[in-house]
A and B are shown apart, each in its own frame.
Chain A
Amino acid sequence: MTTLAAIEDLSVAFRQGSRSVTALDSVNLTINSGERLAIIGESGSGKSTLALALAGLLPASAEQIGKIHWPNGRPLPGRDIGMVFQDPSASLDPVLTIGEQVAEGAVAHLGLDWKAARLRARDLLARVQLPDPQSLLHAFPHQLSGGQRQRVAIAAAIAAGPVLLIADEATSALDTIVQAEIVALLRSLVAEEGMTLLFITHDIALASSLADRIAVFRQAKLVEIGTSADITRHPREFYTASLLAAHIDLTTPPLIGERA
């Protein structure tokens, strides 16, 4: 098993007025090449900050201590790291066509001309299972549904063939049926492309259904990390157990009794 990234004693703080708010506190975490690693946590746990730190997208004002060691060389964001965010209407440019935004990564990083990049974009739209990719190249984001837009965002994220795909709450704004479709798509894409997947979510069941390992974050700290099976069946930390207890699925006892 080779290491893609070793996060060593990473702390990140943001300035808010005169105060400094700690978003990540002495985090140690190794990401293995080719694994599917889920990062779970509630609001303010630091999970998105971790994603931004890995992708080199932290704002310049952020104070960062510790380091991220990349054994195979420092990745170039956009080329070696693709990122998919929660809200595809915010991450896609509303005035660019689908073709332009998916092709952009291929032009910038693969040295393709626009014509070749457009062909690649068409293939990518087919890879993310969008219907009629040829005419979709000329469509605008507002013409698509939320789930279709997220597929476009995924196509754009993998356009330059990244080694690491980061999905930050990429299914949270979608309904459960579309969520299941996007998770299935991510699973097949990372398997076929041999990508490493960092899947950030607040949903521990969704994490366990997709990831090999789960890292649990709370209030800027890594609480525990383990295989999905160990985390869901034998959590070591009380906090993980409480997340599991708060999870609601079709086996949870209903909160209401039968009506008389």
Chain B
Amino acid sequence: MTALLAAEGLGKSFRRGGVRLAAVEGASFSVDAGETLGIVGPSGSGKTTLARLIMRLIDADMGTLCFEGSDLFALRGKALRATRKRFQMVFQDPLAALNPRASVADVIGDPLRIHRLSDRASRPAAIARLLDRVGLPAALASRAVHEISGGQRQRVAIARALATKPRLIVLDEAVSALDVSVRAHILKLLVELQAESGISYIFVSHDIAVVRAIAHRIAIMDHGRIVETGPTAQVIAAPQSATGKALIAAVPRLMPAQD
């Protein structure tokens, strides 16, 4: 079985005051169809840079990235634009990611219009269907992004990502800013959407407990490198890397129940 996404030796460095800083170095991993890969690591470990490399929001210095069998870094112009609708991203702060003054319909309608997925007449119905898929009422379409709650906004961001029927969504700390009860609902929604459509996720977070709840496999990053990767249960039960052990030890524990 060929992977949906396969990265080999991805690297990206930035210049800071004349010093070269490797943000991501030699990152290799793959994601299968219908699978969730959790990427977890401390601040500054390179998680977000890796997410941006995968999205081609920034260009890699080295390495290859293969998506649906084609070399993603070789794609340019029209071919790249056509492929872009197959992978989407959801960010941590939807208020920063979405135009606050746009209506919910604008936000979700944009990808439909840009990728010519529905004409003007059928767009309201398509928007209503997408809102329904993320558990929001169709009436929300006319509201402005700044008027709705944080949890609703993140659902809108997910609906927008789903609009182009992607095979992969990269979620960068997508539930980290949400209240715990809202977070639980969003995670459940993501799992339901995956069961329905076989979509793949790359779920980036600093919180290994949340990653454990949703990811089939985990890659642990530190200092720009993937230091450990494996099936979630295995990594949690017996972390091999120092970073993995530290991340697991740092999870706050509720006081153990006593009888």
Contact = CB atoms under 8 A, between A and B. Distances in A.
Interface of A: 42-43, 145-147, 174-180, 202-206, 208-209, 228-229, 232-233, 242-244, 246-250, 252, 254-256, 259
A229 B250 contact: no
A256 B36 contact: yes
B138 interface: no
A254 B249 contact: no
The 8 closest A-B pairs by CB, nearest first: A205-B252, A42-B179, A180-B250, A175-B206, A176-B250, A206-B252, A246-B180, A175-B42
B252 A209 contact: yes
Contacts of A177: 42, 246-247, 250
B214 A255 contact: yes
B258 A233 contact: yes
A252 B212 CA distance: 9
B249 A180 contact: yes
Most buried by A among B249, B251, B254: B254
Nearest to A229: B255
Contacts of A256: 36, 191, 194, 213-216
Interface of B: 34-36, 42-44, 150, 179-181, 183-184, 187-188, 191, 194, 206-210, 212-216, 232, 236, 246-255, 257-258
A157 to B, nearest CB: 22
Please report whether the interface of chain A is mostly helix, strand, loop or mixed according to DSSP. Answer: helix
A250 B254 contact: no
A179 B43 contact: no
Contacts of B252: 176, 179-180, 203, 205-206, 208-209, 249
Nearest to B257: A233
A205 B253 contact: yes
A39 to B, nearest CB: 15
Contacts of A246: 180-181, 183-184
A208 B254 contact: yes
A43 B247 CA distance: 26
Given A202-B180, A208-B252, 8 more contacts: A180-B250, A204-B254, A208-B255, A209-B253, A246-B180, A254-B214, A256-B36, A259-B216
A229 B212 CA distance: 26
A232 to B, nearest CB: 5
Of A42, A228, A249, the most chain B CB neighbours within 10 A belong to: A249
Nearest to A256: B191
B213 A248 contact: yes
